[in-house]
A and B are shown apart, each in its own frame.
Chain A
Amino acid sequence: MSAGTLYDKVWELHRVADLPSGATQLFIGLHLIHEVTSPQAFAALDDLGLSVRHPERTVATVDHIVPTTSQARPFDNPLAEAMLATLEGNCARHGITLHGLGSGRQGIVHVIAPELGLTQPGMTVACGDSHTSTHGAFGAIAFGIGTSQVRDVLASQSLAMGKLKVRRIRVEGALQPGVYAKDLVLHVIRTLGVKGGVGYAYEFAGPAIEALSMEERMTLCNMAIEGGARCGYVNPDAVTFAYLKGRPHAPAGEAWERAVAWWSSLASGPEATFDDEVVFEAATIAPTITWGITPGQAIGVDETVPTLEQTESDERPIAEEAYRYMDLRPGAPIEGLPVDVCFIGSCTNGRLSDLRAAAAIARGRQVAAGIKAFVVPGSEQVAAAAEAEGLDAVFRAAGFEWREPGCSMCLAMNPDRLEGRQISASSSNRNFKGRQGSATGRTLLMSPAMVAAAAVSGHVADVRRLVAAPTTPDLEPASTRA
C-alpha cells in the first residue's frame, strides 16, 4: 500500500467520512462542468429537491458542441443550441460562473481551468469528462466522473470513492529533439497497455518529467486515462509555481508565500512508498504514432505495423480487428502512409506551446495538395496569445484553416468530422472506431508537430527530419519517394 505520496496526502486531507459501503466520502475542491454531461445532473438535483451546495466551487464553460467556424448564436444545430441554453439556464439559476463564448475565457474545460489559475496543487478536481486527469499536472488529484456523480458533487461537494493504488512512472534522461510529451505518454501506454493502469493513480516522476513545462505535463496527465489510470499527477515544483503566479484565481500577496509553502509540502517525499514502479528511458523514445484502434496500438514513426507474431497472444484479436478497420498490413511501415485530414487541437494538445511546435514545422511550407488541415486553439486565451505572436498567419500562409476554440474533431460533436473512410493525423487523444464522427473514419494519434509534418508532407512523416532541416517548400522524406 502506498504511503507518503502526494496522492495519499491529498486523499487524507479531503476525506469527509467513511461510508457504510467501505467507500470514502471525498471532498471535491474544484468542480468543472460543461454542456454535455451536466444537464441531466441538474435535472436530477431538481427531482431530489436539492440545491448546489458550493456554487462558488463549480465553474462552467462550453466546449464539446461549439462550432469552430462561426460561433454566432443561435447555433445552426438546434440540439447544440438547446444544450448551451440549458447550461446557461442552470448556471444562472444556481449562481455558477459560466465562461461563455466571447467572454475571453471560454475554451476546452481542461485548458481554461489551468490558465485561469483555478487548478492548483493539493486540490481534488472532478469533472464529467474522463480527461479531467489533465489537472494532475499541478499535483492535484483529478479524475473524470459520470453524470450521477456530477449530481452528487453539485449536491454535496463530495463523492463516494474508493482509494486507488499508486504506481510511480519514473522517466530517466531527456527527450530528444522532435520528441514531445505526447510521444512520451503514447510510449508509456504502448508499453503498459490501455488497461495497465486500471486501479492505479500514475505518479510521473524523474528527470525527464521535471524538465517538462506545465503544458507538457498537462499533455502527459491528460492521457493517463488512456492507459487505464483514472488520474495521473506530477509533484508540484518551481515550474508549477512559476506557471501559477499572477493568474486570475491564483493566490496573491502574503497568501502566495503560504500557498507555495503548503504546495511544496505535498510532493511525495523520499520516504514515500508506492504500490508499483516502472522506469523508462526518455532518450530511447521516438516520435510515436498510433496505427490501430486503441491508444495502446502505437509504434515509433520509424517502426512497422506489428505482425501477429510480434503481438502478445491476448492482444491478437484486437490487432486483427485493427488491421481490418485501418486497412493496414502487418509489417507495413507507418511512415509514408497518406492522410486526408490533419487536426491540431484538443485538451491534449491545443495549448500555446503545441501551436508553436506545429507552427515551427508549418512555417514557410505548404499543406500538401488534397489535404484538409485545420487548427483549433484550446481556448479564447490560447487563440489570442497565438494571434498576438502571428501563429495564425503562419498557419494560414501554409494552407491551414484557423478556427475558433472548442473540442472540435477530437470527438466530432460539432460540425467538424471525418467523412467516410478518411484517415486523419490528429493531435487528440482517442483513435477509437468512429471517434472522429464517421463510423468508418480512421485516426492516427501523434504530436502536434507530427501532425504539421504530415500536413506538409501529405503522409505520415518523421518530424525529426523537418525539425533538423532548413525550411524549404519541397522537403520530403526519402523513404516516401517512388
Chain B
Amino acid sequence: MSATPFPAGPIQRCAGRAVVVPGDDIDTDRIIPARYLKCVSFDGLAEGVFADDRSERAGDHPFDRAENQGATILVVNRNFGCGSSREHAPQALMRWGLRAVIGESFAEIFFGNCLALGIPCLSADHDAVLALQAAIAAHPGAILQLDLEPPRVTLEAGGDVQEWSLSLPAGPRRMLVSGEWNGTAQLVAHDGELRATASRLPYLNGFAAA
C-alpha cells in the first residue's frame, strides 16, 4: 500500500498530507488487532491497521476517507500507542504509508518501536495539537512540512502559512538526524565493553565477591 520507500539513512524532514486520528489512549490492540499478529513476517500488516475501528466506522474512519489516502504524517492526541509492546503497530502504520507521527504524548514502548523503524514521534502541547488538527480539517489535502532540526511543522494553504513548534528529546533526535536510529551495528561493535560488563555481573560469575 505504501508508495514511498521505507525510512533509511538520516531523517531530517518529511513532507506530505496528514491523517488525523483523534482520541486519547489509543492502544496498540486498536492499531493492529491481535489476530493480525499471526504471522512470521511484517509484510502483510497494512491491511490490518485499525481494522476493527474501520469496520465499526464503515468507510468513515480517517484511514478510509478519500482525502487521506496517501497521507504520510499521522496526527494523534494523548498517550498514543499504549498497551501491548507489539512492533506490529508501527510496522502496520509504516506499511500503510506513514513516516512520522505528531501528538500530545506517546506510550514509551511505542515511541521506541517507531524510533527503531526511523519514524519520528514528535510532541506538541495540548492546544497546539488541537490547533494543528483544526487547521488540517480546514484545509483537506494540504501539505505539511515537518522538520526535525528544530522540530516544527508548517502548514501552507491558500497563501497562509501556519507553524507550530514541536518537541523531540535530544537523543532520539540525534539518532534520526544522523541516521543512527537503526543501531544494531553500533551495539555489536562494543565487543570489549560487552565482555567487560558481563565479567562484572555477579550472576554471570557464580556470585563471586566483586
Residues of A within 8 A of B (CB): 13-17, 19-23, 25, 27, 29, 36-37, 39-40, 43, 48, 50, 53-54, 64-65, 77, 79-80, 82-83, 86, 120, 122-123, 128-130, 132, 143-149, 151-152, 155-160, 162, 194-195, 198-199, 226, 228, 230, 251, 255, 258-259, 262, 294, 314-315, 317-318, 321, 411-413, 430, 432-435, 437, 439-440
Contact = CB atoms under 8 A, between A and B. Distances in A.
A16 B174 contact: no
A434 B30 contact: yes
A20 B117 CA distance: 18
Interface string B176-199: 001010111111101001101110
15 contacts: A14-B197, A21-B183, A23-B175, A27-B197, A122-B202, A128-B85, A128-B87, A144-B109, A145-B85, A149-B112, A230-B108, A259-B207, A317-B24, A413-B34, A432-B83
A20 B180 contact: yes
Interface stretch (B5-13, B36-44, B154-162): B36-44
A53 B194 contact: yes
Contacts, number: 216
Contacts of A23: 171, 175
Contact of A15 (B85, B87, B188, B197): B197
Contact of A255 (B38, B86, B193, B207): B207
B33 interface: yes
Nearest to B33: A434
A413 B208 CA distance: 44
A23 B107 CA distance: 18
Given A21-B183, A130-B85, A230-B108, 7 more contacts: A29-B204, A64-B37, A83-B38, A132-B85, A148-B113, A228-B108, A258-B209
B67 interface: no
B4 interface: no
B124 interface: no
A178 B123 CA distance: 43
Given A157-B194, A194-B82, A145 B109 contact: yes
B38 A156 contact: no
A19 B33 CA distance: 35
A363 B94 CA distance: 51
B167 to A, nearest CB: 13
Contact of B52 (A40, A228, A255, A434): A434
A198 B183 CA distance: 24
Contact of A79 (B38, B198, B201, B202): B38
B172 interface: yes
Contacts of B27: 294, 430, 432
A320 B141 CA distance: 30
Contacts of A439: 33, 52, 55-56
B38 A258 contact: no
A50 B82 contact: no
Contacts of B53: 433
B105 to A, nearest CB: 7
A259 B24 contact: no
A19 B175 CA distance: 10
A165 B145 CA distance: 33
Interface string B73-90: 000001100111111101
Between B38, B185, B194, the greatest number of chain A beta carbons within 10 A of the residue's beta carbon is seen for B38
B38 A435 contact: no
B139 interface: no
Contacts of A314: 24, 78
Between B39, B41, B90, B112, the greatest number of chain A beta carbons within 10 A of the residue's beta carbon is seen for B112
Contacts of B52: 433-434, 439
Given A21-B180, A120-B203, A433-B52, A80 B194 contact: no
A255 B206 contact: yes
A50 B186 CA distance: 13
B98 interface: no
Nearest to B111: A198
A19 B186 contact: yes
A157 to B, nearest CB: 7
Contacts of B83: 130, 226, 430, 432
Contacts of B82: 194-195, 228
A437 B201 CA distance: 42
B116 interface: yes
B25 interface: yes
Contacts of A430: 27, 29, 83-84
B184 A432 contact: no
A435 B82 CA distance: 13
